[in-house]
Amino acid sequence: MTPAPSSEHQFVVGELYFALRHFFQNKHCYVFMAPFDVFLSKHDTYEIPDDIVQPDIAVICNKKQIVKKGCYGPPTLVVEVLSPSTALKDYNEKFYTYQQYQIIEYWIVDTANKMIHVYNLQEGAYQRHATYGQQDTLHSAQFKDLAIPLKYVLEWN
């Protein structure tokens, strides 16, 4: 049995989920947090997907993608909060998977260093949009009005 994520991980996911949920209220984008399956397919065959992922947070701006068992196709934005046991997977495997399936924006939250790396898809490849620290306000590459002060998001410890 896989152990539950740490309290710090859950705190950060909760804070970001709350901020994103508040921002997207009445904006026709929907925010989900794990466990929530995202079915990815190179040929739109979601009943037999090529990959199934569970990002910590997924923002889906096409309601038609949302099905009873999760999301068919790439969300607009995904967030992964690093844990010691998942850091390499989030930085490598998931990074390339999300890039391959054209997820427009990917945030990697590094709680150990109190930073959030924001990547934006440009010409099929992720480019680092910005890296934000605890004293900064995060600005999305895709959602220009989205601004999240990180002081309390990254305050654990």
Q: What 3-state DSSP class applies to 154?
A: coil
- Residue 53 counted as domain residue: yes
Q: Residue 155 domain-assigned?
A: no
Number of domains into which the chain is organized: 1
Write out the residue range of the structural domain in which residue 119 sits.
Answer: 28-149
Q: Would residue 20 count as lying in a domain?
A: no
Question: Would you say residue 34 lies in a domain?
Answer: yes
pTM (whole model) above 0.75: yes
In this structure, are strands 38-40 and 70-72 parallel, antiparallel, or unpaired? parallel
- DSSP label at 21? H
Q: Can you tell me which residue has the tokens 């010409």? A: 123
Question: Does a structural domain hold residue 92?
Answer: yes
CATH number of the domain where residue 107 is located: 3.90.1570.10
Q: How high is the mean pLDDT of the chain?
A: 93
Tell me if 31 sits within 8 A of 18, measured CB to CB.
no
pLDDT at 87: 79
State pLDDT tens for residues 82-105. 987 777 777 888 999 999 999 999
